[in-house]
Amino acid sequence: MTTVQPHRPRARSTGARPADAVGRVVAASALEFSAHAFGVMGADNAVMIDGMIRLGMSYSPLRHEAGAITAADAYTRMSDRPAVCTTTSGPGFTNALTALTEASRARSPLVLLTGSAPLGGARSGDIDIRRAAALAGARAWLVEEEDTVGTVRAAFRTARAESRPAVLCVPADVSRRTVTRPGARARSAESSEGPSPVLAAPTRDELARLADRLRAARRPLLLAGRGALGATEAVRRTAAAYGARTATTTLALGAFGSGDAHLGIAGGFATEDEAAAVRRADVVLVVGASLNRHTTRRGSVFAPEAHVAQIDVAPQPTSTRVDQFVTADAEDALVELLLQSSSGARRADRWRGVGVVRSQTPAPMLADGLHPAAVADAVADAVPSDAVFVVDGGNFMAWPLASWRPRRPRSFVPAGLAFQSIGLGLGAFVGAAAARRDAYPVLGVGDGGLLMSLADLDSAARLVPRGAIVVFNDAAYGAEVHQFGSEGFAESPMRFPARDFALVAGAFGLRTLAVYDRETLRIAASFLRAHRDELVLLDCRISPSVAAPFLRALEPRQA
């Protein structure tokens, strides 16, 4: 990973960049928790960024603020280490709101350092960042000179405890001031919200009832979401203790590999085999997953008679499908369930005869472009075994989700999935490469998402030394074509001229290949193997006529 290296100043900074300026102290305090930052510089975060670089933090300069936040989000998801991102005030912050909301919905405890309106009064380019952050689902903190260190530390700790982003607002007229009392106190900018709630331990009676259910089940299932990624071993051991199978949401893909005890994805992105196997469960324990409409397939993911229990840090169930709810830390609750598992006999092989066939049917030949399954399968076969995957949003994503199955936990980021956005893939690709420098990063992106974030193709070219960007290019907003075109809506707003992304990426210095038929797809597989030490882009011309299976599992949009 290429990053901006720390400068080595000849003498202590003075004047506009004093070593004890608030912005510099914010950077130093952030360095206690994170070694990597992503950002876009502007007038109101310049002191903080300069401090990060001079203090030795690895800093990756992105081209767009959404990319900076998404990079930090992906870094945090793949490494379980907090990442810092930074924007300037006003439009610098508003450019990042979609990515910040995605990080919040995905429970990513990143920390955003942003400039904000001066305490002396807002300027024409300022907005109420604290209110906007709250709308995005993040918790905001106001940095003042007398409590700088304490506020930064409180924000990082709260982000981790609450599993959501923290936004540190540094007023423009405070950033360059000299800190007088750096750690006197810490105050949340969301004064109406009060202090972070303390998570109460679940009662033994609650977990005893749940243990009884699991022991009595014929086919118990443990469904793990992103909130359980820190407790995968506890999930695995609990499943073994009760004779249960495991499955994951899309956000936790790869957490359990692909052994016989694992059923794969549960929800709208599952294959038909995976969906059928999950519906065989009669008791389902959901750990760290929100059970949104995609995971529940509009309520059809579990059999109607199945008993559904949920363990989550939320104060109440996140779906009406939940029959029993326990507010608890995932690992704490699972440890107690393990202790209780010995109080009853375990039935063996309760899932005998139920499995998932993972072989892929060869994709058919199409007259108007490659089948996206053929592209996804060819890439899966050609990339190294240490590959980590990022998938942007769009119609195309069904096929990478089916064949790009990571072999280790924290090796997959579905960029934008939590907030149903496209255009966040390139930033996530940069963050994934920074988090997993030992691995080979692969990005799947549609032409629509790539064009939305094209500025950060430059960021990838500068910051990702090796990896593959695979463009599923159907010259359309494919999901909209298949959802609305079939209803008789005008398709001209959904279809566009085909663009030559190989030519575009070549201008950024990437090695590229245009892929448009079976022969060039075979060449692409050899191309990927031959250039594993470089960053490459495949511009794959896929058929615009193939609808993703998951579109059938989505609720119809309201007019």
Question: What gap in Å lies between CA 164 and CA 471, rounded to an integer?
Answer: 31
Q: How big, in percent rounded to 5, are the helix, strand and coil portions of the chain? A: 35, 20, 45
pLDDT band at 33 (very low <50, low <70, confident <90, very high): very high
Is 372-553 in the same CATH topology as 204-341? yes
pLDDT band at 15 (very low <50, low <70, confident <90, very high): very low
DSSP, collapsed to helix, strand or coil, labels residue 47 as helix
Contact 71, 38 (CB under 8 A): yes
Residue 145 is predicted with a pLDDT of: 82
Average pLDDT estimate for 303-324: 89
Candidate from 115-119, 253-257, 341-345, 499-503 with smallest mean pLDDT: 341-345
pLDDT band at 304 (very low <50, low <70, confident <90, very high): very high
**Domain with residues 204-341, CATH architecture:** 3-Layer(aba) Sandwich (3.40)
Average pLDDT estimate for 463-477: 97
Q: Is 243 left (phi over 0), alpha (psi -120 to 50) or beta?
A: left
Q: Would you say residue 556 has pLDDT above 90? A: no
Q: Would you say residue 324 has pLDDT above 50? A: yes
Q: Would you say residue 496 has pLDDT above 80? A: yes
Percent of the chain surpassing pLDDT 70: 87
- What angle do helix axes 330-341 and 232-241 make, rounded to 10 degrees? 20
pLDDT band at 261 (very low <50, low <70, confident <90, very high): confident
Candidate from 126-140, 247-261, 266-280 with smallest mean pLDDT: 247-261
Q: Would you say residue 533 has pLDDT above 70? A: yes
Q: Give a three-class secondary structure readout of 328-380.
A: CCHHHHHHHHHHHHCCCCCCCCCCCCCCCCCCCCCCCCCCCCECHHHHHHHHH
Question: What gap in Å lies between CA 445 and CA 504, rounded to an integer?
Answer: 15
Question: What gap in Å lies between CA 233 and CA 253, rounded to an integer?
Answer: 15
Task: Give pTM, 2 decimals.
Answer: 0.88
Question: Which tokens go with 60?
Answer: 């990756």
Q: Would you say residue 554 has pLDDT above 60? A: no
Q: Would you say residue 555 has pLDDT above 50? A: no
**Domain with residues 372-553, CATH architecture:** 3-Layer(aba) Sandwich (3.40)
Q: What residues form DSSP beta bridges with 540?
A: 472, 515
Question: What gap in Å lies between CA 505 and CA 516, rounded to an integer?
Answer: 17
Question: Which tokens go with 118?
Answer: 């001066």
Q: Would you say residue 267 has pLDDT above 90? A: no
The residue length of the chain stands at: 559
Strands 58-61 and 84-87, sheet pairing:
unpaired
- Centre a 10 Å sphere on the Cβ of residue 320 and count the other Cβ atoms it contains: 9
Ramachandran angles phi, psi of 236, nearest 5°: -60, -45
Buried b (16+ CB within 10 A) or exposed e, 341-379: beeeeeeeebbeeeebeeeeeebeeeeebbbbbbbbbbb
Candidate from 324-328, 407-411, 510-514 with smallest mean pLDDT: 407-411
Percent of the chain surpassing pLDDT 90: 64
- Centroid of chain to Cα 491: 31
400 versus 16: the higher-pLDDT residue is 400
Question: Which tokens go with 369?
Answer: 């472009």
Candidate from 35-39, 193-197, 209-213 with smallest mean pLDDT: 193-197
Looking at residue 395, the DSSP 8-state letter turns out to be: G
Q: Would you say residue 30 has pLDDT above 60? A: yes
Residue 199 is predicted with a pLDDT of: 52
Q: What residues form DSSP beta bridges with 415?
A: none
Enumerate residues 6+ apart whose C-beta is below 8 A from 123: 90, 117, 172
pLDDT band at 16 (very low <50, low <70, confident <90, very high): very low
Contact 34, 48 (CB under 8 A): no
Q: Would you say residue 38 has pLDDT above 50? A: yes
Residue 101 is predicted with a pLDDT of: 98
Furthest CA-CA distance within the chain: 73
pLDDT band at 25 (very low <50, low <70, confident <90, very high): very high
Q: What residues form DSSP beta bridges with 116?
A: 171
Q: Determine which helix (DSSP H) or strand (DSSP E) holds 75, and give its type and residue range.
A: helix 65-79
Contact 436, 409 (CB under 8 A): no
Span 198-240, pLDDT tens digits:
455 667 788 899 999 999 999 999 999 888 888 889 999 999 9
- Centre a 10 Å sphere on the Cβ of residue 474 and count the other Cβ atoms it contains: 28
Q: Give a three-class secondary structure readout of 229-284.
A: HHHHHHHHHHHHHCCCEEEECHHHCCCCCCCCCEEEECCCCCCHHHHHHHCCCCEE
The CA-based dihedral angle spanning residues 501, 503, 509, 513, taken in that order and rounded to the nearest 10 degrees: 70
Q: Determine which helix (DSSP H) or strand (DSSP E) holds 513, and give its type and residue range.
A: strand 511-515
Question: Which tokens go with 509?
Answer: 């210095």
Residue 218 is predicted with a pLDDT of: 92
pLDDT, the chain, mean: 87
Q: What ranges do the domains of the chain cover?
A: 22-171, 204-341, 372-553
pLDDT band at 501 (very low <50, low <70, confident <90, very high): very high
Q: Would you say residue 395 has pLDDT above 90? A: yes
Candidate from 181-185, 387-391, 487-491, 534-538 with smallest mean pLDDT: 181-185
pLDDT band at 518 (very low <50, low <70, confident <90, very high): very high
Question: Which tokens go with 296?
Answer: 């529940």
Instruction: Tell which CATH classification among 3.90.550.10, 3.10.50.40, 3.30.360.10, 3.40.50.970 matches the domain 22-171.
Output: 3.40.50.970
pLDDT band at 348 (very low <50, low <70, confident <90, very high): low
pLDDT band at 435 (very low <50, low <70, confident <90, very high): very high
Residue 483 is predicted with a pLDDT of: 86
Enumerate residues 6+ apart whose C-beta is below 8 A from 426: 67, 392, 443, 445, 450, 453, 456, 457, 459, 460, 469
- Centroid of chain to Cα 10: 41
Residue 389 is predicted with a pLDDT of: 97
15 burial class (0-12, 13-18, 19+ CB within 10 angstroms)?
A: exposed
Question: What gap in Å lies between CA 21 and CA 40, rounded to an integer?
Answer: 20
- Centroid of chain to Cα 160: 15
